[in-house]
Chain A
Amino acid sequence: MPEFNPVLVKELRSRMRGPRAFILLTVYLLILSAVTLLLYAAVGSSSNSGSDLNAGQRVGKTLFLTIATVALIEVCVITPALTSGSIAGEKERQSYDLLIASLLSPWQIVWGKLGAALAFALLLILAVVPVMSLAFLFGGVTLAEVLIALTGLVTTAVFYATVGLFWSAVMRGTLGATILSLGSIILMLLLIPFLWAISTIIFSRGPNDIMRSAAYIYGGGAFISTHPFIALGLTEAFLSSGDSAFYTIIRPGGQDFWVPSPWLVYIVLSVLISAILLFFSVRLLRPIPESRRNKRARRAAEEDRAEGVERKG
């Protein structure tokens, strides 16, 4: 029977040992539970008339959306922090060379680090399920919505974990890697809606054909769908208006555009970006590529020849 990835075993062993993991999980659930409790108290007191038959459903929906949003925020913050120290930490501890000099491939090292961080992130996401299931007591939430929310959380965990891993492979210190990981994620979360808003303002002043074109609808839709909050929020809006969970039809100016649901676009793009980041992370763990070595060798040989000519001269 093949053995588990050694890095994964080591990381899980040391990550789950001691009070750190327990404290993080407890704080994570405490924040989530506190927000849920406060929201329930607020929504409950505002719909106290007793004559509204849909009040329960509204409470359920509000609870679900809030829990999903808080969980997403926590995943956005925690997962890059879990991976940003993974490879940079090896460099800081001076154990990096020992890993590279072993028979482990760069892919095994990267996958072991990512797998261990994702295992813990999945534990956090699974811990959300019981809290999220409270919404079912009130109704108003479908199973599809819950599954899409959980899929979105898992995808975000993978996406942002690879962002952290990439910076961890680039940087020599954990602090720098963590700052760059969180910084680039915050920048993405702020920049995407900002650029979307700017482009909408610019294009709305121009000829209307641009905003009705397939390029704008699909290109702009794909761009905005890289933002987890917007992609999942739009999906929820489409589902609430009775659209399919997998596609929706947009009619700007009477022409029908069949577009995939934003959560699907988000998953595809996140997986794609994650794969690219993983590829570069693996490349960064290798010694200098052979092609660059050959260039250097040629340059060194040329320099040596030039020195030889000078000496003879």
Chain B
Amino acid sequence: MSAIVETRDLTRRYGATLALDHLNLQVPEGAIFGFIGPNGAGKTTTMRILTTLLLPTSGEAWVASQSVLKNPHGVRKLVGFMPDFFGVYDNMKSWEYLDFFGRAYGVAPQRRAGAIGELLDLVDLGHKRDDFVMNLSRGMKQRLSLARTMIHDPQLLILDEPASGLDPRARIELRELLKELRALGKTILISSHILTELAEMCTHIAIIERGRLLASGDVETIMRSLQPHRTLELRVLGDPSTGSGEAAARAEELLRGHAGVLNVHRDGAEQTEAVPPAAEAPPEPRTLIVDYSGDERGMADLLTVLIANGVVVSRFAERASDLEDIFMQVTQGIVQ
């Protein structure tokens, strides 16, 4: 994948404050690129430089090989920008809002009329075409704003905190819309504080703090590089006569003897024995957490060994790493 956005030693100062510190970033074409960082990390500054709203103090940035410094006009043609607020106009209908920005981006009248209808349908606002923008709900305004960013059919969409202030339904709708846009071939650079949301849709992420890039790449590679082993979760059942504690101990013994198993421990919440179960009740299942450095084949072998030795396994799954864990791990020690 070639990079649609590239920055080289991008630096921006606001007086004595260093907002961006020699940022080197690459956004692959066709990606949904999550830009993560705490408040004041430099996300918005980077986005504003890429949209030609701000000049860097030093360094250079390119969008589709067009320099933001030397050819800002060319960059603006390629970029659709959605800031973290919605610019409202009084006395303006939804279609007029899109029509105005269509004119502002030099979209031809014949193409503009069709594009407005198509975009309103895409963001599910076709029925609100003649409604005044001010009367739309926040979620609808965000969707209209997204339609605005696409009125000139840009290659790159830069979305700064698009989900902030939206209710859960509006967030889900926005997420689905962004996936649709990616399917249409758009590259999306998105910043958000809601990491779980980004984890669900981003193909790539970059973590930035105090203007410095801490990690960048596709989500899986980053997860793998920051957490080199897999974490497996097993649920083991015992029979009523012996109880699940014995079965778990047997499973632990088998697991520890298997190549690739780095560590085995019982899930914290279940370590302490509470009230002993009634004799007639089935024993409570036990959860084991296994740090495993092997591959998929090794995982299959592990399961086979357990079953062959009479361990009853009700769950055997790889625990997905959480983007929040990664974020906390990467930014650890620097966050104030």
Residue numbers of A with Cβ under 8 A of B are: 3, 6-7, 9-10, 13-14, 17-18, 90, 93-104, 287-288, 293, 296-297, 300-301
Q: How far is the CB of A299 from chain B (nearest CB, A)?
A: 8
B104-124 interface mask toward A, CB cutoff 8 Å, 1 = contact, 0 = none?
A: 111001000000000000000
20 A-B pairs in the complex with CB atoms less than 8 angstroms apart: A6-B104, A10-B96, A10-B100, A13-B92, A14-B89, A17-B91, A18-B91, A96-B87, A97-B48, A97-B83, A98-B83, A101-B53, A102-B76, A102-B101, A104-B104, A287-B53, A287-B55, A293-B56, A296-B58, A300-B57
B88 to A103, Cβ gap below 8 A?
Answer: no
CA distance A287 to B76 in the complex (A): 14
Which residues of the partner chain B approach A9 to less than 8 Å between Cβ atoms?
100, 103
A94-B109 in contact given A9-B100, A288-B55 (Cβ < 8 Å)? no
B256 at the interface (CB under 8 A from A): no
A95 to B58, Cβ gap below 8 A?
Answer: no
B73 at the interface (CB under 8 A from A): yes
Q: Which of A6, A101, A293 contacts B52 (CB 8 A)?
A: A101
B317-335 interface mask toward A, CB cutoff 8 Å, 1 = contact, 0 = none?
A: 0000000000000000000
B53 to A97, Cβ gap below 8 A?
Answer: yes
Which residues of the partner chain A approach B152 to less than 8 Å between Cβ atoms?
103
Interface secondary structure of B, over-half rule: loop
B11 at the interface (CB under 8 A from A): yes
Residue of A nearest to B84 (CB): A94
Please count how many residues in chain B sit with their CB below 8 Å of the partner chain's CB atoms. Answer: 35
Residue of B nearest to A7 (CB): B104
CA distance A94 to B56 in the complex (A): 22
B57 to A293, Cβ gap below 8 A?
Answer: yes
A13-B96 in contact given A94-B87, A99-B104 (Cβ < 8 Å)? yes
CA distance A10 to B95 in the complex (A): 12
CA distance A300 to B9 in the complex (A): 12
Q: How far is the CB of A171 from chain B (nearest CB, A)?
A: 18
Nearest 10 A-B pairs (CB), nearest first? A95-B87, A6-B103, A102-B104, A14-B91, A297-B58, A94-B85, A17-B91, A10-B100, A300-B57, A94-B87
B58 to A301, Cβ gap below 8 A?
Answer: yes
Which residues of the partner chain B approach A288 to less than 8 Å between Cβ atoms?
55
CA distance A90 to B89 in the complex (A): 9
B91 to A98, Cβ gap below 8 A?
Answer: no
CA distance A18 to B93 in the complex (A): 13
B77 at the interface (CB under 8 A from A): yes
Q: Which of A90, A101, A103, A293 contacts B106 (CB 8 A)?
A: A103
Q: Which of B58, B81, B88, B103 contacts A101 (CB 8 A)?
A: B81
Residue numbers of B with Cβ under 8 A of A are: 11, 13, 48, 51-58, 73, 76-77, 79, 81, 83, 85-92, 96, 100-101, 103-106, 109, 148, 152
Which residues of the partner chain B approach A296 to less than 8 Å between Cβ atoms?
13, 57-58
Q: How far is the CB of B162 from chain A (nearest CB, A)?
A: 14
Among B52, B58, B86, the one with the most A-chain Cβ atoms within 10 Å of its Cβ is B58
Which residues of the partner chain A approach B91 to less than 8 Å between Cβ atoms?
13-14, 17-18
B87 to A103, Cβ gap below 8 A?
Answer: no
Which residues of the partner chain B approach A102 to less than 8 Å between Cβ atoms?
76, 101, 104-105
Among B11, B51, B76, B100, the one with the most A-chain Cβ atoms within 10 Å of its Cβ is B100
A300-B85 in contact given A10-B92, A13-B96, A101-B52 (Cβ < 8 Å)? no
Which residues of the partner chain A approach B105 to less than 8 Å between Cβ atoms?
102-103
Q: Which of B58, B73, B86, B90 contacts A94 (CB 8 A)?
A: B86
CA distance A101 to B55 in the complex (A): 13
Which residues of the partner chain A approach B89 to less than 8 Å between Cβ atoms?
10, 14, 93, 95
List 13 additional A-B contacts (Cβ < 8 Å) besides A94-B86, A99-B104, A297-B58.
A3-B109, A10-B96, A10-B100, A13-B91, A13-B96, A17-B91, A95-B87, A95-B88, A98-B81, A98-B87, A103-B77, A103-B104, A297-B57
CA distance A263 to B56 in the complex (A): 48
Q: How far is the CB of B212 from chain A (nearest CB, A)?
A: 14
Which residues of the partner chain B approach A101 to less than 8 Å between Cβ atoms?
51-53, 76, 79, 81
B55 to A293, Cβ gap below 8 A?
Answer: yes
